[in-house]
Amino acid sequence: MDQLIFASEVMLNGLMTGVMYALVALGFVLIFKASGVFNYAQGVLALFAALTLVGIQNGQVPFAHLINAAFGTSLHHFGWTVPSVLAIALTALVMVGLAFLIEKLVLQHLVGQEPIILFMATIGMAYFLEGLGDVMWGADIKTLDVGLPQGISESIETVTDSWFGYGYFIDRLDIWATVIAALLVAALVAFAQYTKQGRAMRAVADDHQAALSVGISLRFIWVMVWSIAGFVALVAGIMWGTKSGVQFSLSLIALKALPVLMLGGFTSIPGAIVGGLIIGVGEKLFEFSIGPMVGGATENWFAYVLALLFLVFRPQGLFGERIIERV
Amino acid sequence: MKLKFPAIVAAATMLAAPAMADLVVPNMSYRTGPYAANGIPYADGFSDYFTLLNERDGGIGGQIVQVPECETAYNTEKGIECYEALKSQNPLVLNPLSTGITYQLIPKIGVDGISLYTPGYGRTSAKDGTVFEWVFNAPANYWDGASVAVKHILDQEGGDLSGKKIALVYHNSAYGKEPIRTLQELSEKHGFDLMELPVDAPGQEQKSQWLQIRREKPDYVIMYAWGVMNQVAIQEAVNVRFPMDHFIGIWWSGSENDVKPAGAGADGYKSLTFHGVGQDYPLYADMKQYVHDAGKASGAGDQMGNVLYSRGAYAALVIAEAIAKAQELAGTAEINAAQMRDGFEGLDITAERMVELGLPDFGAPIKLSCENHGGDGLGRIQQWDATAGQWNLITDFIEPDAEILDALVKEDSQAYAAEAGLTPRCN
């Protein structure tokens, strides 16, 4: 009985962790869906967004080290702090600006190129943004606090303790992540279904040429999609950065999104969520049940095994578009 | 034009390479990549100490110390590239600050005759100088750390650990696995249960491990982590309400970087250290005057006094003392790499010498020999005060359990000697 209770606690935590993975995967899906580009830089976008958010919040002078070295000044901070909501809004604007620059300086010049060329371009962008983030905000680990609560939910612990004689652990940050992810997905779906821009985005996703022929601006759609992906990256950066502090490793969370994408499909927003949940629960339950027999630390590789298993039976992923090629 | 180009190249080479008579001690740093936040303060402390000696004392024995820097990004392949590039500059010693790079370099440095100094990291059994002629890992190694942690726990528990449970949360890598054998031996000796919990790199997701800790309620947790794994583990420990004063990290899990993201929750967290904390030492006044205020500090100049800066400076101090010893033994200030190795083996940093150096009680005395390349392995416990935002030393230096460790070091070094076909020296 105890094992069953523990397993259900692990499963619940797996679901919550899956939501955190899905938040990262969503950014990949948005860009892939609209442009067929696998954006290698999505993890770095999350890092860059979180660095910018903390920098704005703390009133940090961007490029301070560079400015001080060039002009012999000693600038570090503006001497003010910015409220979290305003800082998030300003960071979102920075991400829109970044999307515009990416389109203007990179994507515009690669229209019509093979997807692999665009993929290579995103690799280049990833390394550039890593360096830019470092130079702009410094490489130290920054504490991120936008007021999200962390730690055990005592009410859930008390209730489950009265029911099962064992208080479940659920992290309040994970609960918030779940609520925010649900709102984000609802907003994205509503945007895609009910707005003119959203419908244009879907048209581009379906067929670039046809969309162009009816007057949809590919450039505008790309800026818009990269902006939305930048905002999703900001949300993912806030959630993961609250946990670990904002640091370079945030960019590596992309690795946790890959099996989610393989499983859920590269083109489905609900697929990213369901894929995240399956990966989260699967890896946690495997670690709980089999991990101790094989020395533990199974989660990283088991997530990929699970994704590969799904791939064998459904190459397009659970919710991906079926690939039909007529000759 | 044909004449000018080689002249420019020659001039550039002269600028890039240290003068022949200088002492060359490269700084194999990582200011980029996932571990940059830790690599930067260490590299700054390492460089700044030599800058201080150059500016204040005119170098060591009248010889300026050149500290060419090479970026490894904590990447083993890049570390090897750095080694190959630095080799041509006739370095006296290398300190790669990476266990992975150290393992790769050990066979190479034996052939090239260059010392490796790996304080608190690298291959533990390199302490045995009869096998590892060119490697030095004083003042302490990973196994010393595990033993000192258990001794501290013994002290907390009134000398009896029977029936207690200690969990080891470790980075699932060669580094993280280092203390397992030692802790297994110590668990047999003291009668505690050992729970092993590996975490895959980079360690951003540790929910499974901390749920297990919450379920099985170990009395203490010892952690061997690095980078983001530290911050996440400390946050998860706070989340599951694990008592922070029963959570002890190795010295690589005990910098300001590791505790600050968890805020007030990290208060009381402990870690090992093999050197002092803070800036309340006379040396730092000199460091400020001759290096920082003079605008000669490495990097942004904003790291002085933090744990990893102090560790980098301490590594430089030990190397500087070994250079001075080598000069004394060789009877010349212009020493070579072989003489540098002799300097390490003759190293004797006493408590009085630490006072002279402006760091009283900062580090335990270090006395090395042909046989002993690792010192006595003493460590202290520091505890984080979140309110004051500082580490406090809460114990004196603690000796590791030589009875267990000496045998383990011998066993491992002998196995290496047999594998590498080495004949033990120092007879």
Alpha-carbon distance A139 to nearest alpha carbon in chain B (angstroms) = 6
| Chain A nearest C-alpha distance from B323 (Å) | 32
| Cα separations in angstroms, B248 against B19, B148, B152, B199, B299 | 46, 11, 10, 16, 31
Q: What is the pLDDT of residue A155?
A: 95
Would the CB atoms of B207 and A141 count as touching at under 8 Å?
no
By C-alpha distance, the chain B residue nearest A245 is B261
How confident is the model at residue B250, as a pLDDT? 98
pLDDT (tens digit per residue) in B169-208: 999 988 999 999 999 999 999 999 999 999 998 899 999 9
Compute CA distances B360 → A18, B282, B369, whole Å. Answer: 52, 8, 23
Do the domain assignments include residue A322?
A: no
Residue written as token pair 């450039």: A219
**Domain assignment present for A73:** yes
- Is A318 a member of any domain? no
Residue A298: closest C-alpha in chain B = B200
Minimum distance, in Å, between the CA of residue B319 and any CA atom of chain A? 27
Shortest alpha-carbon distance between residue A240 and chain B (Å): 8
What ipTM, to 2 d.p.?
A: 0.91
pLDDT, residue A324, reads 61
Tokens representing B304 are 């002085």
Choose among B31, B239, B260: nearest Cβ to A150: B239
Spell out which residues of chain B touch residue A141, defining contact as CB-CB under 8 Å.
37, 231, 257, 260-261
Q: Do B205 and A256 touch (CB under 8 A)?
A: yes
For residues B397, B276, B225 and B259, what is the CA-based torsion angle, rounded to 10 degrees? Answer: 120
Q: What angle do CA B197, B198, B201 make, to 5 degrees?
A: 150
Give chain A's largest Cα–Cα span.
68
| Residue A248 to chain B, least CA–CA distance (Å) | 5
Show the tokens assigned to B260: 């600050």
Give me Rg for the CA atoms of chain A: 21
* CB contacts, 8 Å: B196 with chain A: 295-296
Of all residues in chain B, the one with the smallest CA distance to A130 is B33
Sign of CA dihedral B188, B100, B67, B299: negative
Dihedrals phi, psi of B39, to nearest 5 degrees:
-70, -35
* Phi, psi dihedral angles at B264 (to 5 degrees): -65, -25
Residues B228, A244: C-beta atoms closer than 8 Å: yes
A127 touches chain B (CB under 8 A): no
Residue by residue, DSSP assigns B301-325 as S--TTSHHHHHHHHHHHHHHHHHHH
Name the token pair of A53.
Answer: 């958010």
Q: Does residue A108 lie in a domain region?
A: yes
Q: What is the DSSP letter of A171?
A: B
The four Cα atoms B89, B91, B96, B100 give a dihedral, to 10 degrees, of 80
CATH, residue A284 = 1.10.3470
Cα torsion for B12, B14, B18, B19, to the nearest 10°?
-160
- Tell me, yes or no, whether A83 lies in a domain: yes
A17 interface with B at CB cutoff 8 Å: yes
Distances from the Cα of A192 to the Cα of A29, A317, B123, B382, angstroms: 13, 21, 56, 55
Q: Which residues is B383 bridged to in the sheet?
A: B270, B392
The rounded Cα A8 to chain-centroid distance in angstroms is 26
Asked whether the beta carbons of residue A13 and residue B207 sit closer than 8 angstroms, the reply is yes
pLDDT in tens, A196-223: 998 888 888 777 778 888 888 888 998 9
Chain B CB contacts of A252 under 8 Å are: 34, 202, 204
- Spell out where B72-186 has E strands: 93-94, 115-117, 135-136, 165-171
Q: Is A321 at the interface with chain B, CB within 8 A?
A: no
B75: distance to nearest CA of chain A, Å?
A: 14
Contact A181, A277 (CB under 8 A): no
pTM equals 0.92
* Angstrom distance (rounded) from CA B341 to CA B61: 17
Q: Which residues of B touch A (CB under 8 A)?
A: 31-37, 40, 172, 196-200, 202, 204-205, 207-209, 211, 214-215, 227-228, 231-232, 235, 238-241, 257, 260-261, 263, 265, 300, 302
Q: Which residue do the tokens 């989660």 mark?
A: A299
Domain annotation covers residue A319: no
β-bridge mates for residue B381, sequence order: B272
Longest dimension (CA), chain B: 81
Residue numbers in A near B261 (CB within 8 A): 141, 143-144, 244-245
Residues of B in contact with A171 (CB under 8 A): 207, 239
3-state helix, strand, coil in chain B (%, to 5): 50, 15, 40
What digits encode the pLDDT tens for the residues B120-178? 999 999 999 999 999 999 999 999 999 999 999 999 999 999 999 999 999 998 899 99
3-class SS at B246? helix
Quick check: B240 and A297 CB within 8 A?
no
Please list the alpha-helical segments (H only) found in B274-420: 282-286, 307-330, 337-345, 351-356, 402-420
Q: How confident is the model at residue B360 (pLDDT cuts 50, 70, 90)?
A: very high
Task: In whole angstroms, give the CA distance from residue B232 to residue B258.
Answer: 9
The domain total for chain A is: 1
Q: Which residue of A has its CA nearest to B202?
A: A249
- Compute CA B313 distance to the chain's CA centroid, rounded to the nearest angstrom: 11
CA distance B264 to B401: 34
pLDDT at B11: 46
Determine, yes or no, domain membership for A320.
no
For residue range B293-340, list pLDDT tens digits in order: 999 999 888 899 999 999 999 999 999 999 999 999 999 999 999 999
| Angstrom distances, CA of residue A82 to CA of A139, A144, A147, A235 | 21, 13, 13, 18
Which residue out of A63, A73, A136, A141 would a mutagenesis test of the B interface target, given it has the greatest number of B Cβ atoms within 10 Å?
A141
Number of Cβ atoms within 10 Å of the Cβ of B160: 11
* H-helix or E-strand spanning residue B220: strand B220-224
B4 pLDDT more than 70: no
Whether residue A160 lies within 8 A of chain B, CB to CB, comes out as: no
Between CA A237 and CA A226 the distance in angstroms is 16
pLDDT (0 to 100) of residue B228: 94
Q: Which A residues, 70 through 109, put their C-beta within 8 Å of a C-beta on chain B?
A: 76
Running DSSP on this structure, what letter comes out for residue A291? G
Which residues span the domain enclosing A110? 2-313
| A111 at interface of B, judged by CB pairs closer than 8 A | no
CB B165 within 8 A of CB B195: yes
Share of chain B above pLDDT 90, in %: 91
Backbone angles phi, psi at B93, to 5 degrees: -160, 155
Closest chain B residue to A255 measured between Cα atoms? Answer: B202
How far apart (Å, rounded) are the C-alpha atoms in residues B364 and A176? 48
Contact partners, residue B341, CB within 8 Å, separation at least 6:
B113, B115, B133, B134, B326
Report how far residue A221's alpha carbon sits from residue A296's, in angstroms, rounded to the nearest whole number.
Answer: 45
3-state secondary structure at position B394: coil
Contact call for residues B399 and B379 (beta carbons, < 8 A): no
Spatial separation of the C-alpha atoms in residues B29 and B94, rounded to whole Å: 11
DSSP string covering A180-244, please? HHHHHHHHHHHHHHHSHHHHHHHHHHH-HHHHHHTT--HHHHHHHHHHHHHHHHHHHHHHHHHHH
Tokens of B214: 């919450």
Q: With an 8 Å Cβ cutoff, are B208 and A291 in contact?
A: yes
Q: Which pLDDT belongs to residue B16?
A: 47
Q: Which of A145, A248, A297 sits opposite B200 (nearest CB)?
A: A297
Q: pLDDT digit string (tens) for B268-298?
A: 999 999 999 999 999 999 999 999 999 999 9
Q: Which two tokens stand for residue B245?
A: 């004063």
Residue pair A152/B239 in contact (Cβ under 8 Å)? The answer is: yes
CA distance B349 to B274: 14
Sort out which chain B residues have CB atoms less than 8 A from A140's CB and list them: 37, 40, 257
As a whole number of angstroms, the distance between CA B312 and CA B119 comes to 10
The reply to whether A325 falls in a domain is no
Token reading at B53 = 């000696």
Query: Cα–Cα distance between A56 and A92 in angstroms, integer?
Result: 11
Q: Is there a contact between A299 and B200 if contact means CB atoms under 8 Å apart?
A: yes
Cα separation, B51 vs B64, whole angstroms: 9
Residue spans of chain A under pLDDT 70? 320-327
